[in-house]
Amino acid sequence: MGVFPTRLKAERSSRTSVFVTLLLSYLVVLLIPVIVFGGLYTRIESIMVENANNANMALIEQAKQVVDGRLDEMHLISRNTSSHPKLDTLLKSGTLQTAEERYDYLSFMKELERYRNSSSFITDFYVYLRKSDTVVSPGFKTNSSILFSEIYGYPNLTYKQFQDDILHGVHFNRFLPVTEVGKGLNKKRMLTYLQTLPFGEKSTPKGALVILIEERQIMGLLEEIVKANHGTIYIKDAEGQVLLSAGERSELANGASASESGMMTVSTTSARNGWEYVSLVPENVFMAKVIMVKRMAVGVLALCLAAGIIVCAYMTYRAYHPLRDIIRFIRQSHPTKGGNIRNEYEFIKSTMADSFGKQVEMEEQLFRQTPAIRANFLLRLLKGHVDTDDISQQSLSFMGITFPHSSFAVALIELRDASGFIHHDCEREWALIRFVTGKVAEEMPGYAAYAVELEKNEVAIILNVPEECGKGVELYEWAEQVKRVIEQRFRTVTTIGISSIHAGMGQLPSCYAESVRALEYSIFTAYKPILFYEEMKREAEVYYDFPIETEIQLINAMKSGDAVKTKDIIQQLYENNFTGKQITPEHGRLLFANLLSTLFKLLNALNLKYEDILGTPAKPIENMTEAGSLEELYSEMQFMFHQVCLYVKQQRGDSSTLLLEKIKKYIIEHHDDAMISLASIAEQFNITPPYLSAFFKKNSGSNLTDYLAKIRIERSKEMMKDAGSTISQIARSVGYTSDVGFIRVFKKYEGITPGKYKETLHSLSSTLRKDHAES
């Protein structure tokens, strides 16, 4: 009674040790993204402030360029007026005017009217002639007194100040701040430009040019920017005098501190006239968003951390739960095993040591299945269904495959006429000629070759080509020898399509596709027994290369979210069409338009939106037509396909695992149904049988029919322990309509018939009982 509680206590102690170790490991992994998130979090505010300043600077630069452009129109009028040939005569004329002088005034006013009509930015302008106290504008001619009192007077100036400061003063490209100008209903806020006449006079000016610009002309240019950032924009001249301001906080233009008022300030200076453009944006407008983002980030972090801790505890329990069940199962199955153990892992290790005796038998059975495994592997390798990065040399050696070189090619042999060898056109004879063709190619000296049977009359040969091999001469000689042996000894006419030589096992799907294309080329040309893909490509330079097989591979890779494979396919397309090949830009754009069509077909099939993935309005056609080079098109296309792959992988990663588990559970629960099939299972899950077959094989690593057969065989083995059950009863119980089909499947997977297995099982059981009784 004391031994069993002691054992339970030791088990509980060891369980606690393993559980805590697993929990701490998960927590450490959880802390890594938390620390990274914390580091990124500290950078949020500074980055957002910097982005806001950059945006404000871009807006203020835009305003500067627009205002400077309109001011250039004003300066052009100023230059044209000051350099007018009649101006000097008018400046020197007195109050008593001859008919000729009056004509000069009239023609001068017409010129001024032409200048004003050339710019919608200028409200009005006039020329003051000091000697005759005359004011000339495009629309009137008067004296300074009437001008001040009736037309363009300044409320904040007296007539004397108006004369001294504006008309008689020395000015050079001088601006007066915006103020009200005019009388009554004609009163408007104007920006005043002053220039002494003649141009360059510094002591005794003979006149002045005054240009008036209505404030709304400039405010209209700044209004959109002010609305965009809810701030204030004001303009200073080169001496720091504020000329005008626009926005909600215009009082800051009069000297208030931006920092004291809670404003973010950016400014830029015009190189043309020295004006400084200053933008003030309230900090509370921007910081409210920053604070909101911070709170959301902290909330999300806290929520994720809490959820992560819960998930860590749950995953630790799940990770330990199978280990605990294994220990209990081993102790129940091997009651003699016991003793003091430090932890569960050592106990499992000692138990496994007793099971190694069965390994030899399993290896022998696996060795018998090696040819079928190798054939399946080579076929999947050709079709691009194998991740070559995960293939080890040990795995290749197990299948009897050796690739001493890094370059590969594929020769596709089509048995065009086998009537000299085949007499009854049955599958058995076709299988024999395919086997013979493969063996002839494999044993032909020159290359390490491996045959793969494809269609009824096609055999693919994977060739491992030495690096020093020339440009197809040796391959042509090898193909001639293979063709000669098959035709002379086995009276079969063949056509051989040979791909280009590629580096790397991962390029074998491309080699296979090229060999298929080379073989298809025989339809469009006179009969050639040996066709090289390179020769075909040279004869078809005016066409781009985008076969339907490649498009299907591309769509499948994107559906699975495989960004690396998608990139490789697009890169291979690019290299096939633009590397070492003369192709016009029009054909290049047509190829990319085809790729773009493939992308949108996939998005439509998956019910995805372009904007949800790339975040910008869908204008890929415009981008393609505006691209300056094929390299730009290629980079843009790679980017779009990469983003779609990442989005698809993120959206569908978990759903594939869940669907696979549901399918396996359904098969286990209905394996005894004789009507269960690929079609019935597909109908149960509302998918097509081909998609179900490909999905199950990709995600589980085995065919669905093999999985169903193994479930039935395992169930039949359990039923064979009952000596009273017949083979027919067992066959019907596990879903077979007859014992013939059951016997064939059982022997295929176990190597012996079910009757022999049952006989061996009960014989071994009797021997064990007898040995136990004697002991």
3-state secondary structure 3-31: HHHHHHHHHHHHHHHHHHHHHHHHHHHHH
pLDDT in the model for residue 210: 92
CA separation for the pair 180, 158 (Å, rounded): 14
Instruction: Write the DSSP string, 735-774.
Output: T-SSHHHHHHHHHHHHSS-HHHHHHHHHHHHHHHHHHHHH
**Number of Cβ atoms within 10 Å of the Cβ of 442:** 15
Whole-number Å distance between alpha carbons of 622 and 433:
55
Report the sign of the C-alpha dihedral through residues 15, 17, 18, 20, in that order: positive
Q: Are 561 and 645 in contact (CB under 8 A)?
A: yes
Residues ≥6 apart with Cβ < 8 Å to 682: 688, 689, 691, 692
Phi, psi of 168 (to 5 degrees): -100, -5
Q: Are 80 and 115 in contact (CB under 8 A)?
A: yes
Distance of alpha carbon 748 from alpha carbon 673, whole angstroms: 21
pTM of the model: 0.38
Element of type H or E holding 515: helix 508-520
Q: Domains in the chain, ordered, with CATH?
A: 3-42+302-350 (no CATH), 74-274 (3.30.450.20), 355-540 (3.30.70.270), 542-659 (no CATH), 670-774 (1.10.10.60)
**CA 44 from chain center: how many Å?**
24
Instruction: Give the pLDDT confidence score for residue 256 in this predicted structure.
Output: 45
Residue carrying the six token digits 């596990």: 734
Dump pLDDT digits (tens) for 136-153.
Answer: 898 888 888 888 888 888
User: Mind giving me the DSSP string for 211-257?
Assistant: EEEEHHHHHHHHHHHHHHHT-EEEEE-TTS-EEEEEETTGGGGGT--
Closest of 410, 412, 414, 411 to residue 492, by C-alpha: 414
Summarize the chain as % helix, strand, coil (round to 5). 60, 15, 25
Peptide linkage before 754 cis (omega within 30 of 0): no
CB contact at 8 A, 509 and 553:
yes
| Residue in the structure block whose two tokens are 């495989």 | 562
Residue 255 half-sphere exposure toward CB, CA atoms < 13 A = 1
Positions of the chain with pLDDT lower than 70, given as ranges: 1-18, 45, 95-97, 228-229, 248-262, 284-288, 334-345, 347, 353-354, 357-358, 360, 469-472, 520-527, 536-544, 578, 580-589, 615-631, 651-655, 765-766, 768-775
Angle 65-71-74 from CA coordinates, rounded to 5°? 160
Residues forming beta bridges with residue 463, ordered by sequence position: 409, 449
| Amino acid 250: pLDDT | 54
